[in-house]
């Protein structure tokens, strides 16, 4: 790692002094806050086998699934929702937010126990946790501690870190345990930060990464009135490093946001993207009809 220095102002009785901070001697990972455990499930419907069932059985099975979904949509400690996927990557995207991974596991098992799951074929899944990166706060804290001569990972260092995390967690609880937006459309994709031969995000000094992530965040905030974004971390939990889930009323806004972000240095130089899944929300009240198992009035084709 190349040596990177930044200047920290020190106030004393004799006036202002200047101290050069050697960033290569400081921890390189930014502090993060973790919240809700999250599971995305992509499934395909076994349509031929489903249609072979008598209509009464389809209605009974769909009603059971709709009842489970209705309860999961309104949970106070983390919700579930389902979206019909546009395109051929799958038929349904189920998403679950829960307060911890034990509750997330129970949600997965409950869904798998429904009769409907016999006609759902898993295609792909993604396990992650809501993550808020604290680049700005971390950089300021590291500079302040280094300026005071506090050794990294010492008791004094750790106490300052814990104090910062406790303060930030209280301020950001709604973002750590979010409610699912009511938006009609969802866009989900996994991503990595590049570790190629010439470009390696993880060998880039902290101050430079802070600047990149600040630029990236500013782009996202310009779309805050149209697109809600939830970033989840998956290092050590799944094959990608992060998942990005976007919610909007118009899926074209996904394109506009992501297109603009591609010009940010963090994306243009260091981002690798997985598959994109776009879906239309299917509330519990509509699930039987979408499964072709509703009442005749619900499934009748428009004239």
Cβ neighbors of 97 (< 8 A, separation 6 or more) are 36, 37, 38, 78, 79, 80, 130, 177, 178, 180
Q: What are the tokens at 254?
A: 């996904």
Q: What are the tokens at 120?
A: 């759902």
270 assigned to active site: no
Cβ neighbors of 60 (< 8 A, separation 6 or more) are none
Q: Are 271 and 216 in contact (CB under 8 A)?
A: no
Q: Are 205 and 138 in contact (CB under 8 A)?
A: no
Q: How far apart are CA 283 and CA 298, in angstroms?
A: 14
Say how many Å lie between the first and final Cα of the chain, rounded: 68
Q: How far apart are CA 106 and CA 223, in angstroms?
A: 35
Q: What are the tokens at 34?
A: 């973790």
Annotated catalytic residue within 83, 135, 189, 270: 189
**Residues tagged active-site:** 189
């Amino acid at each position: 790692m190349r040596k990177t220095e930044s200047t920290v102002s020190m106030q004393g009785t004799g006036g202002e002094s200047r101290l050069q901070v050697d960033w290569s001697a400081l921890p390189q990972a930014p502090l993060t806050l973790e919240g809700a455990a999250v599971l995305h499930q992509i499934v395909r419907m076994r349509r031929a086998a489903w249609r072979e069932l008598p209509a009464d059985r389809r209605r009974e099975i769909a009603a059971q699934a709709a009842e489970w979904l209705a309860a999961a949509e309104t949970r106070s400690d983390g919700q579930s929702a389902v979206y019909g996927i546009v395109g051929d990557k799958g038929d349904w995207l189920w998403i679950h937010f829960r307060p911890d991974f034990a509750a997330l596991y129970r949600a997965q098992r409950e869904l798998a126990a429904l009769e409907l799951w016999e006609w759902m074929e898993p295609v792909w899944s993604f396990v992650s946790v809501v993550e808020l990166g604290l680049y700005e706060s971390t950089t300021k804290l590291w500079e302040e501690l280094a300026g005071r001569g506090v050794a990294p990972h010492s008791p004094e260092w750790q106490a300052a870190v814990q104090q910062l995390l406790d303060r930030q967690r209280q301020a950001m609880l709604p973002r750590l345990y979010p409610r699912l937006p009511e938006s009609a459309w969802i866009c989900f994709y996994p991503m990595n930060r590049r570790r190629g031969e010439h470009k390696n995000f993880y060998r880039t000094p902290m101050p430079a990464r802070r600047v990149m992530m600040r630029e990236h965040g500013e782009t996202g905030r310009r779309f805050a009135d149209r697109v809600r974004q939830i970033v989840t971390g998956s290092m050590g939990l799944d094959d990608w490093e992060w998942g990005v889930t976007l919610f909007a009323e118009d899926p074209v806004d996904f394109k506009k946001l992501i297109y603009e972000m591609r010009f940010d240095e963090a994306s243009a130089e260091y981002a690798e993207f997985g598959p994109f899944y776009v879906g239309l929300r299917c509330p519990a009240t509509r699930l039987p009809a979408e499964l072709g198992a509703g009442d005749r009035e619900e499934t009748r084709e428009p004239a």
